[in-house]
């Protein structure tokens, strides 16, 4: 099957978490024998920031870790029909320009043989709904939503059964425990500061508890303003700057534990959606302690796959326990990894995507019920 994916950037993971998951899924498709073509906009925001900070050297970790992957760039003069020529399944991520999303829909309505999906992996549907409803999705066969609560938003917008829940997952070809255990010490947290969506939570669940527990704390990420850096200094945390996602397993392997602090939108408005870092950390076999979030879809077993701290004092106790108890660390690492391997790898998500394509009758999809169904017939069934 030929899959064409339009992303914000495959090459850059600078403040672009979807690149982590996308790289893993596309690599699984390639290894399964499928034809994959990726397009990203010329001069994407993430790539420009990466190059501005680190130059071409910033792309080397991605290139070394994913030699199978490549992408082409498009601009406003893109020949969309040529870009999707021969495709069986086309997916457009929500961090593309509205004109591109609309142009893909027009190609589908004009009789495109491919099936067309819109992929949403962000909280904008609830935090800035006008930014999402501005997309012209006429002609799209369905939506991929990275959690049930987000899928419910789309159902409320009239998409009904055409919404598929497609969680993120770990790329275990890259994210796995170290082959040889070395020295571990302190805590590591990998995350971007962003727009202050969790400043209070980071202070309450990470910086303060780590300091009170006497554990060294290394922080990796981007978009840390001066006031954020000043806060890190007050708590004795060490800011390490941007970390290529391909280097994250090595960082996890050097530390005793990590902490998950979800953004406010994923606690209050889109519960049940963990970020990619939860999957990646557990896949690396590092014990994880999470600030409160509602695992409403039963993705994990909180308290067994990872620990949960309901407040800052509880987080401090959890961190002290982990620091003092190697058996506790070992048990959490083993159970967290087992949960990932059982149901949350990029190979699992690849098979889910192929299943969605088959349900839609995408030409070339394994097990497609109607491989020769034309676009007009498909669109009539959705009206």
Please tell me whether residues 125 and 241 are part of one structural domain.
no
Structure token digits, residue 85: 């020529």
- How far, in Å, CA of 289 to CA of 189, rounded? 11
Residues 301 and 352 both lie in one domain = no
In DSSP notation, 314-328 reads HHHHHHHHHHH-HHH
Is there a single domain that holds both residue 313 and residue 282? Answer: yes
Residues 303, 306, 307: CA angle, nearest 5 degrees: 55
Same domain, 158 and 32: yes
Residue 76 lies in a domain: yes
Give residue-wise pLDDT tens across range 227-256. 999 999 999 999 999 999 999 999 999 999
Examine the domain organization and report whether 245 and 164 are in the same domain. Answer: no
Q: Indicate whether 140 and 29 sit together in one domain.
A: yes
CB 253 within 8 A of CB 177: yes
Tell whether 63 is covered by a domain. Answer: yes
Do 318 and 353 belong to one domain?
A: no
- The verdict on 15 and 105 lying in the same domain is yes
Whichever domain contains 191, its CATH number is 3.40.50.2000
Residue 309 and residue 193 share a domain? yes
- Helix (DSSP H) and strand (DSSP E) numbers for the chain: 18, 13
Residue 376 lies in a domain: no
Asked whether residue 349 is domain-assigned, the answer is yes
- Answer yes or no: do 220 and 354 share one domain: no
Do residues 49 and 15 touch, judged by C-beta distance below 8 A? yes
Question: Is this model's pTM higher than 0.85 or not?
Answer: yes
In-domain check, residue 66: yes
Radius of gyration of the chain measured on its C-alpha atoms: 21
Helix axes 98-109, 375-382, angle to 10 degrees: 110
Tell whether 330 is covered by a domain. yes
> Which residues, 6 or more positions from 60, have their beta carbon under 8 angstroms from its beta carbon?
none
Query: Rounded distance, CA 142 to CA 69, Å?
Result: 26
- For residue 55, give the 3-state DSSP assignment: helix
pLDDT, tens digit (0-9, with 9 covering 90-100), for 58-114: 999 999 999 999 999 999 999 999 999 999 999 999 999 999 999 999 999 999 999
Outline where the chain has alpha helix (H).
18-31, 45-54, 60-65, 80-83, 98-109, 124-127, 129-133, 148-154, 199-202, 208-212, 226-234, 248-253, 264-268, 276-283, 312-324, 326-343, 346-359, 375-382
* Total structural domains within the chain: 2
**pLDDT values of the chain reduced to their tens digit, one per residue, 383 residues:** 999 999 999 999 999 999 999 999 999 999 999 999 999 999 999 999 999 999 999 999 999 999 999 999 999 999 999 999 999 999 999 999 999 999 999 999 999 999 999 999 998 999 899 999 999 999 999 999 999 999 999 999 999 999 999 999 999 999 999 999 999 999 999 999 977 779 999 999 999 999 999 999 999 999 999 999 999 999 999 999 999 999 999 999 999 999 999 988 888 888 899 989 999 999 999 999 999 999 999 999 999 999 999 999 999 999 999 999 999 999 999 999 999 999 999 999 999 999 999 999 999 998 765 433 333 333 333 32
DSSP state of 299: -
Whether residue 375 contacts residue 360, with contact meaning beta carbons closer than 8 Å, is answered with: no
Token representation of residue 32: 């399964």
306 domain residue, yes or no:
yes
Question: Range of 67's domain?
Answer: 2-169+345-371
Residue 182 belongs to a domain: no
Q: Which two tokens stand for residue 211?
A: 């300091």
Share of the chain above pLDDT 90, in %: 90
For residue 121, which of 86, 92, 145 has the smallest C-alpha distance?
145
d(CA 290, CA 278): 9
Residues 204 and 245 placed together within one structural domain of the fold: yes
- Statement to judge: residues 109 and 68 lie in one domain: yes
């Amino acid at each position: 099957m030929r899959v064409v994916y339009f992303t914000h950037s495959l090459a850059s993971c600078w403040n672009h978490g979807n690149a982590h998951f996308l790289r893993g899924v596309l690599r699984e498709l390639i290894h399964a024998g499928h034809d994959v073509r990726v397009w990203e906009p010329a001069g994407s925001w993430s790539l420009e920031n990466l190059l501005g900070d680190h130059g071409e050297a910033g792309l080397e970790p991605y290139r070394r870790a994913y030699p199978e992957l490549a992408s082409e760039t498009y601009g406003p003069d893109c020949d969309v029909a040529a870009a999707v020529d021969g495709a069986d399944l086309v997916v457009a991520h929500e961090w593309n320009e509205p004109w591109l999303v609309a142009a893909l829909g027009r190609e589908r309505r004009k009789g495109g043989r491919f099936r067309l999906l819109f992929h949403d992996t962000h909280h904008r549907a609830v935090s800035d709904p006008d930014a999402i409803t501005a997309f012209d999705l006429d002609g799209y066969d369905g939506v991929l939503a990275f959690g049930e609560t987000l899928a419910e938003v789309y159902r409320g917008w009239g998409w009904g059964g055409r919404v598929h829940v497609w969680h993120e997952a770990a790329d275990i070809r890259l994210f796995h425990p170290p082959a040889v255990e070395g020295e571990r010490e302190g805590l590591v947290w990998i995350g971007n500061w962003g727009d202050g969506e969790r400043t209070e939570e980071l202070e309450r669940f990470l910086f303060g508890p780590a300091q009170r527990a006497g554990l060294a704390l290394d922080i990796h990420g981007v978009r840390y303003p001066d006031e954020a850096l000043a806060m890190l200094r007050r708590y004795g945390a060490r800011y390490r700057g941007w970390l290529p996602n391909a280097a994250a397993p090595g960082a996890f392997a050097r530390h005793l534990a990590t902490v998950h602090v979800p953004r406010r939108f994923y606690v209050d408005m889109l519960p049940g959606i963990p970020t990619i870092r939860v999957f990646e950390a557990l896949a690396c076999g590092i014990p994880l302690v999470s600030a409160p979030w509602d695992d409403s879809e039963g993705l994990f077993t909180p308290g067994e796959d990872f620990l949960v701290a309901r407040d800052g004092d509880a987080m401090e106790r959890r961190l002290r326990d982990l620091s003092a108890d190697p058996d506790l660390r070992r048990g959490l690492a083993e159970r967290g990894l087992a949960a990932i391997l059982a149901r949350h790898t990029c190979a699992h998500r690849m098979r889910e995507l192929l299943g969605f394509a088959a349900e839609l009758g995408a030409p070339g999809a394994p097990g497609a019920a109607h491989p020769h169904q034309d676009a007009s017939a498909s669109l009539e069934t959705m009206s």
